Structure 1
């Protein structure tokens, strides 16, 4: 078990979320499922209480705590991608499984958790030593939902 792990609050479907994340991202898996030893305010004895899982090598705990708290954009997970195909794969998995698109690499999964699917090419473009190239890349990104790597690279080179 990791020394520290973020605990994500779900409304009864922590196991489904963990299974989706494990199937979507590399180096990901469900590590343990713990059932409630007794009834609790939002569940019954024997129901899944917590799920320990790993996403991209990082440990998490999913808690089935009930409907009292929801995710918001104050916390998001950035996933760095190596190319457009990987960007498309993760974006389409999240959005296509009941999630929603947002702006500038952000999307939400069906549980309301925010993700940023960030191509490494975008990070490089935004920190380009030529400030004008970085600005063009930034302006191109601001008009996007899912990041288009070719359009970012064209912006760096001076294209539209």
Structure 2
């Protein structure tokens, strides 16, 4: 058990969210589920909390009601090795949600994600400021990241 784990407050969709996330990520598993009992506050038998793991990171989802909403002020960065991985996660996480510039998206539950190529940091921090700036300009023109496009901007002379 990790010492610190993100705790995600959903209205009533915790179980649905856990199913989506564990289906989309290759290295994922569901954990323990606690259900509401006679004392509530949720309907008896409904999911109260569900733990799950994505790529070695533990999460806990709660069906806590409509009092709190997610905000883009906190997002999950997913570093992807290939364009196929970016494409797969982009489609799956953005379905029913919305997409923004530079690899940001909000899923249908309101959770914010950044689906980025793992090579991006290396390209943006290149010692050659002109190369890094070209990558930055290319990145700012993208919604979903295109690794080939980033590399093309990097190599452009």
Report if TM-score (shorter chain) is over 0.5: yes
Moved beyond 6 Å, runs of 4+:
none
Equivalenced residues, count: 157
After TM superposition, the score normalised by the length of structure 2 is: 0.94
Residue 107 of structure 1 aligns to a residue whose secondary structure is strand
User: Counterpart in 2 of 1:111?
Assistant: 109
Residue 30 of structure 1 aligns to a residue whose secondary structure is strand
Residue 104 of structure 1 aligns to a residue whose secondary structure is helix
After TM superposition, the score normalised by the length of structure 1 is: 0.93
User: Counterpart in 2 of 1:79?
Assistant: 78
User: Counterpart in 2 of 1:67?
Assistant: 66
Q: Is the 8 A contact 1:19 1:29 kept in 2?
A: no
How far off is 1:29 after superposition? 1.2
User: Counterpart in 1 of 2:99?
Assistant: 101
Q: Is the 8 A contact 1:10 1:63 kept in 2?
A: yes
Instruction: Determine the C-alpha separation between the residues in 1 that align with 2:87 and 2:121.
Output: 17
User: Counterpart in 2 of 1:50?
Assistant: 49
Instruction: Determine the C-alpha separation between the residues in 2 that align with 1:157 and 1:2.
Output: 41
How far off is 1:134 after superposition? 0.4
How far off is 1:4 after superposition? 2.2
User: Counterpart in 2 of 1:136?
Assistant: 134
Residue 101 of structure 2 aligns to a residue whose secondary structure is coil
**For 1:65-96, what per-residue CA distance to the aligned partner results, in whole angstroms no more than 9, with x for missing partners?**
0111111111100000111111111111111x
Instruction: Determine the C-alpha separation between the residues in 1 that align with 2:58 and 2:145.
Output: 27
Residue 53 of structure 1 aligns to a residue whose secondary structure is strand
Instruction: Determine the C-alpha separation between the residues in 1 that align with 2:154 and 2:59.
Output: 37
**For 1:7-38, what per-residue CA distance to the aligned partner results, in whole angstroms no more than 9, with x for missing partners?**
10001110110111001012211111110123
How far off is 1:110 after superposition? 0.6
